[in-house]
Structure 1
C-alpha cells in the first residue's frame, strides 16, 4: 500500500492540468495595482470573487471585505504597513478558514493577487492577460508574481480534500491586494484576525524555502540648483548662479556609489542567506525644465534595502533612513554650493521585513516536506521585499516565502512559469499541510 506522501505526490502529478487551468483563470483577471492607491484595478474584485467561489466549494468559511484604509492608518500610524492615503473601495481582501477536526496545528496560506502593469504591448510576444501555454511554460502577467503561487496553494488544499486526508489543524487561506505598492492589504488581513501557528507566503522563490526577506525604503533626494541659460557663461556658483542641478546629481550619484561600496563589506549589511549585500538602487531621475536651460531642480528616487537586524523600535527602517540622510549631508559638505543649499531626503515608503529562525519547528517540518517532493531543503533569502513581516510580527504567525517560478521574471514582459515548478510547488505545500496539521 502506498504511503500518504506517495498518494499525495501521485495525485498532484495527475492534476497538473487542473493546476495550469487554475492559474490560467487567475491570470485572465487584469488585477492591476494602480499607482494611485485610491483607484481600484480593473480585475481585483473579480479575481477575489473567483477565489471565494473556489474556497466555498471546498468548505471554507469565507470573508470578502473592502478594508477601511483611513481607519487602519489611524490605528497603526508609524507601524509596518500603515500607508497614508489608501482606500480600498472595489479592492477587496479575501480570507477563509477550513476547520480541522481539532487539536492540531493550524497553517496559513497567503499571497497577493495584485499585479504590476504589463508595460508596453510591443515588449510582449503574447497578450499579458490571455495566458498561453507553450514549451512547458505558462506565459502571462502574474504567472510568477504571484498568481502562480496562489494557484499552487489553492490546488494543494483541493487535492487534500479530494483524497479526504484527515487534518486536525485548521487551514487559513488569505489573498490580499495592495502588496505591490506598500502592503496595507496584508496589514488589513492581520488586523481582521487571520492568523495561524505557521504560514507560507507563496512569493516566487524558485521553490526554495526563504525564511527571510529584505525591508525596503523608497526615498526622493531633492536637489535645488538655480536655473539659467545653458549656452552662456555662468557666474560663480556661490554667488548668483545659475547652478546646474544635473551636475549636482552626478556628485550625489557618486556619493551613493561610495556608500554602496562601503555596505558591500559591512557585516550589518550582509546576511549568509542573501546573495547580495544591502544596496541603494537609483530607480528614477527627474531633472530640468527646458532644453536650453540649466536644470534648476533635480530628484533622484532610490530603493534602499535593510535587514531584520537593522529594524528600529517600530519594526521599520528608521535607523537606515538616518544613515542615508547623514551620508547625503556629508556628500553636500564637499561642494561649496550644496553646503549652503543641502539636498534633502523625502521618504515615500518603508516596507518592513522579517526572519523566521532556521530552528523554528515549522521550518524544519517544511524542509522535510520539500525534500519528500524531491526539492532542495536548503534555505535561502528572498532578496526583494515580501509581506511576511506583517503576519510574522503583528500576527504572531511565523511565515516563510516559498513559491514557483524564477523571481527574476517578476515585473518583466513575457513573464512565465514552468508547469514543472507549479506541480512541484503544489506537491511541497500539500505535503507540508499534511505533516503540520495532521
Structure 2
C-alpha cells in the first residue's frame, strides 16, 4: 500500500496542468509595485480578489484589508518594516485560516503578489503579463519572484483538500503587497495577528530550504564638489573652485572597493550557508550637471548586506550603518578637500533579516518532506532580502524561505520558471503540511 507521501506526490504529478494554470492566472494580473508607495499598482487588488475566491472555495475564513500605513508607522517607528510615507488604498493584504480538527501544530504559507515593473518591452520575447508556456517553462513577470511560489502553496493546500487528508493543525495563508519596496505589507500582516507554529515563505530558492536571509541597507553617499567651466584653467583649488566631483566620486568608489575586500575575509561578514560575503554594491551613480561644466556634485546609491548576528538592539542594521559611515569618513580624511568638506551618508531603507536554527523541529520535518519529493534536504542561504524576519521575530512564527525557480531570474526580462520546479515545490510543501500538521 502506498504511503501518504507517495499518494500526495502522485496527486501533485497528476495536477501539473492545474499548477501551471494557477500560475498563469496570477501572472496575468499586472500587480506592479509603484515607486510611489502611495499609488496602487494596476493589478494588486484584482490579484488578491482572485486568491480570496480560491481560498474561500477551500473553506478558508478570509480577511482582505487595506492596511493603515501611517498608523503602522507610528506604532512600529524605528522597527523592522516600518517605512514612512506608505499608504495602501487599493493595495490590499489577504489572509486566510483553514481550521484543523484541533490539537495539532499550525503552519503559515506566505508570499507577496507585488512584482517589479517589466522594463523595456523590446527586451521581452512576449508580453510580460501574458503568460507563455514554452519548452517546459512558464514565462512572464513574477513567475519566479514570486507568483510561482504563491501558486505552489495554494495548490499544495488544494491537493490536500482533494485527497481529504485530515489535519489537526490550522493552515494560515497570507499574501501581501509592498515587499518589493520595503516589506510594510508583511509588517501589516503580522500586526493583523496572522501567525503559526512554523512558516514557509515561497521566495525562489531553486527548491532549497533557506533558513536565513540577508538584511539590506540602501544608502545615498553625497559628495559636494564645486562646479566650474570644464575647459578653462582653474584658479585656487580650495577657495573658489572648481573641484571636480567626478574625481572625488571615483575616490569614494575606490574606497568602497577596499571595504569590500576587507569584508571578504572578515568572519563577521560571512556565513557557511551563504555563497558570498556581505558586500556593498553600487547600484546607481549621478555625477555632474552639464557637458561643459565640471561636476559640482556626486551621488552614489549603495545596497549593503548584513547578517542576522549583526542586527542591532532594534533588530535592524544600525551597527553596520555606523561601520559604513566611519569608513566613508576615513576615505574623506585621505583627501585635502574632502577632509574639509566630507561626504555624507543618507539612509533610504533598512530591511531586516532572520535565521532559523538548522536543528529546529520544523526544519527537520521540512527536510524530510523535500527528501520525499526527490529534492535535496541540504540547507542554503537566501542571498537577497526576504520578509522572513517579520513573521519570525515579530510574529513568533519561525519562517524559512523555500520556493521554485532560479532566484537569479528575479527582476530579469523573460523571467521564467520550470514546470518541473513548480511540481516538485508543490509536492514538498504539501508533504510538509501533512507531516507538520498531522
The 5 A counterparts of 1:289-438 are 289-438=289-438
CA–CA distance in structure 1, aligned partners of residues 105 and 50 of structure 2:
28
Number of the residue aligned with 1:192: 192
Can you give the 5+ residue segments of structure 1 that lack an aligned partner in the other structure? none
Number of the residue aligned with 1:10: 10
Number of the residue aligned with 1:250: 250
Q: CA deviation at 1:236?
A: 3.6
Q: CA deviation at 1:289?
A: 1.0
Does 2:134 correspond to 1:134?
Answer: yes
Q: CA deviation at 1:132?
A: 0.3
CA–CA distance in structure 1, aligned partners of residues 123 and 114 of structure 2:
21
Can you give the 5+ residue segments of structure 2 that lack an aligned partner in the other structure? none
**Alignment: residue pair count:** 438
Q: CA deviation at 1:235?
A: 2.1
Structure 1 window deviating more from structure 2 (225-234 vs 200-209): it is: 225-234
Number of the residue aligned with 1:41: 41
Does 2:203 correspond to 1:203?
Answer: yes
Q: CA deviation at 1:291?
A: 0.8
The 5 A counterparts of 1:15-34 are 15-34=15-34
CA–CA distance in structure 1, aligned partners of residues 298 and 19 of structure 2:
48
CA deviations on 1:310-364 (whole Å, 9 max, x unpaired) are 0000000000000000000000000000000000000000000000000110000
- Say which SS state the counterpart of residue 338 (structure 1) adopts: helix
Q: CA deviation at 1:239?
A: 2.0
Number of the residue aligned with 1:237: 237
Structure 1 window deviating more from structure 2 (232-241 vs 2-11): it is: 232-241
CA deviations on 1:352-378 (whole Å, 9 max, x unpaired) are 000000011000000000000000000
Number of the residue aligned with 1:115: 115
Q: CA deviation at 1:3?
A: 1.2
Q: CA deviation at 1:237?
A: 2.5
Q: CA deviation at 1:397?
A: 0.2
Number of the residue aligned with 1:62: 62
- Say which SS state the counterpart of residue 417 (structure 1) adopts: strand
4+ runs deviating over 6 angstroms: none
Q: CA deviation at 1:195?
A: 0.2
CA deviations on 1:92-146 (whole Å, 9 max, x unpaired) are 0000000000000000000000000000000001110001001000000000000
Q: CA deviation at 1:2?
A: 1.4
CA deviations on 1:250-288 (whole Å, 9 max, x unpaired) are 000000000000000000000000000000000001111
CA–CA distance in structure 1, aligned partners of residues 312 and 238 of structure 2:
39
CA–CA distance in structure 2, aligned partners of residues 243 and 62 of structure 1:
61
CA deviations on 1:288-308 (whole Å, 9 max, x unpaired) are 111100111110000000000
CA–CA distance in structure 1, aligned partners of residues 96 and 240 of structure 2:
65
- Say which SS state the counterpart of residue 213 (structure 2) adopts: coil
- Say which SS state the counterpart of residue 46 (structure 1) adopts: helix
Number of the residue aligned with 2:175: 175
* Alignment RMSD: 0.4
Number of the residue aligned with 1:164: 164
CA–CA distance in structure 2, aligned partners of residues 248 and 121 of structure 1:
37
Number of the residue aligned with 2:265: 265
Q: CA deviation at 1:234?
A: 1.3
CA–CA distance in structure 1, aligned partners of residues 324 and 133 of structure 2:
45
CA–CA distance in structure 1, aligned partners of residues 238 and 308 of structure 2:
43
Number of the residue aligned with 1:277: 277
CA–CA distance in structure 1, aligned partners of residues 29 and 262 of structure 2:
44
CA deviations on 1:20-72 (whole Å, 9 max, x unpaired) are 00000000000000000000000000000000000000000000000000000
